[in-house]
């Protein structure tokens, strides 16, 4: 089975009209739209077709992060938008239960306490909609503020809820309000900061059952391992930086065989999950391979030094372990 652990919903046109109304009216009126099943099914079928074209069996879908509007005032805007996106994902899953799993977007408004909106929405999505994980945006201010790092106690209520619900979090930044930092670049920067913050604060000592997946191959960290290995020694850490890093999980969504090989060597084959974000940034044609950059299955298959079980772990088994709510236990690898 090929499980794509990192993808985002394709929104129907009615959703973007709702977005414009939300922002223009500043969440007033604050009613959710009623989108016909035909519009939702059309988008879901397009996504299934995209999966079939590249041999994906199951895709984990979440709201498209750069559209989450976490910094748009008032907080009710992102609350309503997150609710709408998550409800839409639930409809995708209901229409194609064998093809999709839901991953919740959280209404993280700026730097307000997570107990106000984010955690209640997480509980609703898991308990009522059957979602299997959530997104975590390390910078809900979207570049307008100085948010606490993911190792800060500010985030502990969310981690507590995640472990109680037995769902992992996918670290994935959202939009960027900075002219010098596109949202694509912000993704990589925030993922790098998040790893250093989580490990530096020894977060997994406090929450040993917490499962965190870092998107896009872990940002810049795998490429800069020497720097952080040295830094760990200088600090007198009792664990090597490599040992600390393997408390995290990573996805393959970086569209480069060279980078994925490095990631797998650094993180280990048990800590890497197949993820493509297809369709998304990588949905353009590679002039060398003739495939879209986000057609990642052949890339993993072309890594010669992986054996059959290691490939199976990346494509399927690791995802089953990290997302225990996503599949029946009798289907374990």
Active site residue 277: yes
Percentage of residues of the chain with pLDDT beyond 90: 92
Residue with tokens 């979207």: 142
pTM of full prediction above 0.85 = yes
Confidence of residue 30 (pLDDT cuts 50, 70, 90): confident
- Among 45, 277, 301, 331, which one carries the catalytic annotation? 277
Is cis: bond before 74, omega within 30 of 0? yes
**Which of 65, 111, 114 is closest to 85 using CA atoms?**
65
328: confidence class by pLDDT, cuts 50, 70, 90: confident
**Tens-digit pLDDT profile for residues 143-165:** 999 999 999 999 999 999 999 99
pLDDT digits (tens, 9 = 90+) for 198-221: 999 999 999 999 999 999 999 999
3-327 homologous superfamily: Metal-dependent hydrolases (3.20.20.140)
249 forms beta bridges with: 213
């Amino acid at each position: 089975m090929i499980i794509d652990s990192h993808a985002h919903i394709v929104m129907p046109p009615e959703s973007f009209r709702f977005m414009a109304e939300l922002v223009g009216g500043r969440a007033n009126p604050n009613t959710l739209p009623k989108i016909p099943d035909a519009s939702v099914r059309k988008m879901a079928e397009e996504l299934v077709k995209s999966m079939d074209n590249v041999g994906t069996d199951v895709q984990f879908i979440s709201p498209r992060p750069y559209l989450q509007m976490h910094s748009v005032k008032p907080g009710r805007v992102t609350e309503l938008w997150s609710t709408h996106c998550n409800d839409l994902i639930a409809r995708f899953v209901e229409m194609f239960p064998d093809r999709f799993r839901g991953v919740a977007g959280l209404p993280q408004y700026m730097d307000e306490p997570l107990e106000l909106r984010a955690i209640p929405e997480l509980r609703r999505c898991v308990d009522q909609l059957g979602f299997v994980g959530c997104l975590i945006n390390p910078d809900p201010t979207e570049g307008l503020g100085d948010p606490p790092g993911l190792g800060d106690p500010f985030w502990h209520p969310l981690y507590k809820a995640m472990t109680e619900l037995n769902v992992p979090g996918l670290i994935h930044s959202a939009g960027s309000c900075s002219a010098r930092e596109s949202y694509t670049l912000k993704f990589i920067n925030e993922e790098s900061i998040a790893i250093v913050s989580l490990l530096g604060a020894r977060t997994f000592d406090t929450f040993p059952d917490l499962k965190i997946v870092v998107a896009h191959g872990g940002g810049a960290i795998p490429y800069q391992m020497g720097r952080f290995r040295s830094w760990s020694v200088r600090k007198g850490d009792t664990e090597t930086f490599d040992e600390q890093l393997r408390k995290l999980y990573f996805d393959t969504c970086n569209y480069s065989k060279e980078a994925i090989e490095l990631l797998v060597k650094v993180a280990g084959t048990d800590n890497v999950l197949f993820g493509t974000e297809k369709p998304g940034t990588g949905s353009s044609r590679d002039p060398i391979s003739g495939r879209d950059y986000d057609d990642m299955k052949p890339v993993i298959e072309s890594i010669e030094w992986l054996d059959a079980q290691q490939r199976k772990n990346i494509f399927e088994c690791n995802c089953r372990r990290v997302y225990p709510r996503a599949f029946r236990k009798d289907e374990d690898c």
